[in-house]
Chain A
Amino acid sequence: MTVRRIYLDNSATTRVDDEVIGAMLPYFSEAYGNASSTHQWGQSAKQAIEEARNQVALLLNASATEITFVSGGTEADNLAVKGIAEAHAGKGRHIITSQIEHPAVLASCAYLEKKGWNITYLPVYREGVVRIDDVRRAITDETVLISIMHANNEIGTIQPLREIGQIVRQRREAGQRHLHLHSDAVQTVGKIPVDVKDLGVDLLAFTAHKLHGPKGIGVLYVRRGVRLASQLHGGHHERDRRAGTESVPLIVAIGKASDLARTSLQERSQRLQELRDHLERELLQRIPFVTVNGDAERRLPNISNLNFDYVEGEGLQISLDLKGIAVSTGSACSSGSLEPSHVLVAIGLSQETGHGTLRFSLGKDNTRDEIDYVLEILPGMVEKLRKLSPRVKK
């Protein structure tokens, strides 16, 4: 019997699209010039980079000059948070973020905290969403940056970024010109519309490998006129924002991935949601004691984060893996620290109540047939593990 291979961990990373691979390959062995060189080799590399910049800009409704290529989401978040903090330290040393940010933002904030910055970590309550009133109340004259993710990577909840953007705009119009809004949009770009002007963000980060591009390349959007302290010093690459010889193949790849994401966004998004809803609806129906983590409405179309009472998540995750199905878990047991993920803790789950969480994250290549296979085998696995549990009420 052949073991099936069903990948439902697309929020961790995605398969690189064949078209993306096709677009990037020539830039390894044919058009391999350094974009800083003035000869033909260099100029064709430079041209490829600028075309990719346009493709990315189009996806975000930005201008090409506002796009900085970096190595990925982590670098983009580091550059945004530390770059704004450093450039505007003279105006204030206060940053607002949320308790459920990606570690790239949280650790950058913690780094600044050690250097004397004040950081406000906003709660997200049971629904996993930041409240506008909390944002409004947290802003002081000292605040230079608000960094709130567009959607959470574990539970998929979409944050009220547009409303926060409006607050920031009002404060700026009232004279607080040094207030900036950054968003880690790693999970939303390519899944739902991300329009930097509509959202009102000053900075926004995303990475190629979550939208069927390769690992090692990401983007930081920086609105025209925003002052940012560079974090990598060297040559005059990327308008002095990020030194280092550009990786032309990877940049071409993120351009192509952005292009494909833009042209198929609506169709992809709708299809993902149909599949996700089918999976979730059926699991909730077929298995008792299952709940959805986070707000079920304000959510990415491709993520379902479920809590299975009386089982431990890693047991389920490994059992699924043995059947060729990849998902992830935020359970305490699966983390190095033995504590549940900071996101599950922030929405009020404990070691016990958050013990049995699984995250299913769908991608464009998943099929209805694959989902049906999961629906066929998962209930039995849950039942088998629950038979072991001393906590199950008979």
Chain B
Amino acid sequence: MYSAKVLEHLESPRNVGALPDASACGEATNPVCGDLLKLYVKVENDVITATGFQIEGCPPSIAAGSALTEMLAGMTTAEAAALTPNDVTHALESLPRNKEHCSLLAIDALRSALAQLRRDVV
């Protein structure tokens, strides 16, 4: 049912936990299924240098959050802002059709974090 990549992230999720010195923390919930994802990013000179995430959700949501934290490392905030749910799904090889919203949950948390950064700059 799930790709080997999703199962691998479920077994060994990366970058778990809150970042104490995060520049921003984005949050997203899926009001229908109840999943909650928090994404922490540390930004130095416009580059994401550290990430962390917390999730209460199903295996693909865990995998999406975990994969996103890996993808973000070393990206500029502009590069991060260009990421789409599809990019996350690709990083997981594939998701069942009714689970594609899990990638969106991760991207929503990212956008929430980036918006927080912009507000802080202004």
Q: Evaluate whether A310 and B56 lie within 8 angstroms (CB atoms) in the complex, with A332-B32, A333-B35 already known.
A: yes
Contact B10 A315 (CB under 8 A): yes
Cα distance, A122 to B36, chains bound together (Å): 33
Contact B59 A314 (CB under 8 A): yes
Chain A CB within 10 Å, residue with most, of B16, B36, B58, B101? B58
Which segment, of A35-43, A290-298, A382-390, faces chain B? A382-390
Chain B CB within 10 Å, residue with most, of A319, A332, A334, A336? A332
- Contact among A315, A339, A391 for B62, CB-based, below 8 A: A315
Contact A312 B56 (CB under 8 A): yes
Q: Evaluate whether A387 and B16 lie within 8 angstroms (CB atoms) in the complex, with A338-B30, A351-B32, A351-B33 already known.
A: yes
Contact of A107 with B by CB under 8 A: no
Residue of B nearest to A387 (CB): B16
Cα distance, A114 to B58, chains bound together (Å): 36
User: In A371-394, which residues have CB < 8 Å from any B CB?
Assistant: 387-391
Q: Evaluate whether A350 and B7 lie within 8 angstroms (CB atoms) in the complex, with A334-B58, A336-B98 already known.
A: no
Contact B33 A390 (CB under 8 A): no
User: In A311-335, which residues have CB < 8 Å from any B CB?
Assistant: 311-312, 314-315, 318-319, 322, 331-334
12 inter-chain pairs at a CB distance below 8 angstroms, sorted by A residue, are A315-B57, A315-B59, A318-B10, A322-B11, A332-B34, A333-B35, A333-B61, A351-B31, A388-B16, A388-B55, A390-B56, A391-B36
Hey, which bits of chain A sit against chain B, CB under 8 A? 310-312, 314-315, 318-319, 322, 331-334, 336, 338-339, 350-352, 355, 387-391
Q: Which 5 A-B pairs have the closest CB atoms?
A: A351-B34, A333-B58, A390-B54, A332-B33, A389-B56
